[in-house]
A and B are shown apart, each in its own frame.
Chain A
Amino acid sequence: MTTPTDPDDPSLLVHAYLDGELDPVHALEVERQLDASPALASERDRIEALRGAIRDRLPRETPSPELVRRVEAAIGLAPVPSRSVARAASQPSWRALAASVLLAAIVGSLATWFALHPGPGETTADLMVGNHLRALMAPQPFDVASSDRHTVKPWFNGRIPEAPRVVDLASEGFPLVGGRIDVIGRDPVPTLVYRHRQHLISLTAVPAQALAPLAGGAGAIAGFNTLTWTDNGVAYWAVSDTAAADLAAFEKAFREAGP
């Protein structure tokens, strides 16, 4: 358990090890020492914590536009100051300023209004598709991965007021792969994730009265098929890129499955 260098300060090599500066042979040696020495291991933890804090906490400096201009002027690049002076002189500035402030205010408030008041087109289905999309982009489309409904259902308990009905439909060709919590508006809602061949199906269950009265039925948004139905006071939303017919089969299987 000796290192070829620095027997007096093994931590020196730990720094180099963490910085990725050691060749494999030395790295192996350091790893062995770290395993053997708790003091060294906690020094490693401290160094890592420090590096992380420096990396994440220190604000990034940005050079001021003034500095960029100075630098460019110093080497004769792009005489920016004179150009902006020329442009400013060619226009009655206060009027332009007032007009642009007014325009910005109008555009800004309109944008806010539209964002906060989605038109009738912005439906719960859109939100469901959004959640499904988000899940597909995440490293994994579920928070709990299990094909066992006795694992998935208890997982929801304690996270949301009411755990959804969880059935395994593997025999019907829709194996359960997991579950996650989505957010609709500001409410957490349970979503089950099933698989059908290579397609994932997100099935979100919401107490029916929590949502606007359901039109029900099938739809398609942004290339995803949606299907919604109400059963026992619970509104179900299924979203998937699988065929609409498969979704319908999924609904049928889900409805008919035993508790």
Chain B
Amino acid sequence: MESPRTEDDQARFRSVVLPHLADAYTLARWLTGNRTDAEDVVQEACLRAFRGIGGFAGVNARAWLLTIVRNAAFSWMGKNRPAALVMVDDLEAVEQRQVGDGWQDAGPQTPEAALIAKADAAQLERAIAELPAPFRETLVLRDVAGLDYREIAEATKVPIGTVMSRLARARQRLIAKIGTNEPGTSKPETSKPEMSKPQTSKPQTSKPQTSKPQTSKP
């Protein structure tokens, strides 16, 4: 029997994983969108964490567990809701093209900071839920779970530069949305059309995809 090892692992699991269960659950809820699914994901993630606990290097338990939760959520979504997963490559193209214009385009319509500060929980939740998955997960890992950029890059397996641009894009969308949406009137997913736009050229070099010619330089 391998019971001594199992007991060891259980003790480790208790001290490494259980303290962060609330964070794991919060992340899972944001990624899946509801509590029931989040519970399934957390249970699956905890199983994975338990199996892999021997390999945990003991540096940052929280980031380690959240990475597992994130991956578990992804395979869960792939199995149960494949439609919800956006093709990341397409999204990346859209995002690269838009990040540059976002803060300037918003211009005069962008709400005042005071308006944003007054946003209520329901408004925030709705706006975050409407974000495309990669944006949402980056934002939640940073602003809700409090991971730093490097940890997010490792958890989501993208370069830090991508983390930065996703985060900026996610926040810009929230800012635009919260300022323009009256509480209670949410429009269904305005970003869908953008995401399915065909990718016509390499994003890094082609900026003026949008109708507005971009001339301003800082």
Residues of A within 8 A of B (CB): 1, 7-12, 15-16, 19, 21, 33, 37, 39-40, 42-43, 45-55, 57-64, 66-68, 70-71, 74-77
Contact = CB atoms under 8 A, between A and B. Distances in A.
A52 B104 CA distance: 22
How many interface residues does chain B have, given as a range? 35 or more
A111 to B, nearest CB: 30
Contacts of A7: 217-218
B74 to A, nearest CB: 19
A143 B180 CA distance: 39
Contacts of B13: 75, 77
Interface stretch (B22-30, B56-64, B79-87, B182-190): B22-30
Residue in B13, B114, B117 with the greatest tally of chain A CB atoms within 10 Å: B117
Q: Report, nearest first, the 7 A-B pairs whose CB atoms are least far apart.
A: A45-B113, A49-B116, A49-B113, A11-B103, A49-B117, A61-B26, A8-B100
Interface in B119-150: 119-121, 124-125, 128, 142-144, 148-149
11 contacts: A8-B207, A9-B102, A11-B172, A15-B167, A39-B103, A52-B117, A57-B120, A60-B26, A75-B46, A77-B10, A77-B14
A71 B42 contact: yes
Contacts of B114: 49
Contacts of B174: 50
Nearest to A5: B161
B195 interface: no
B121 A15 contact: no
B88 interface: no
Nearest to A18: B171
B175 interface: yes
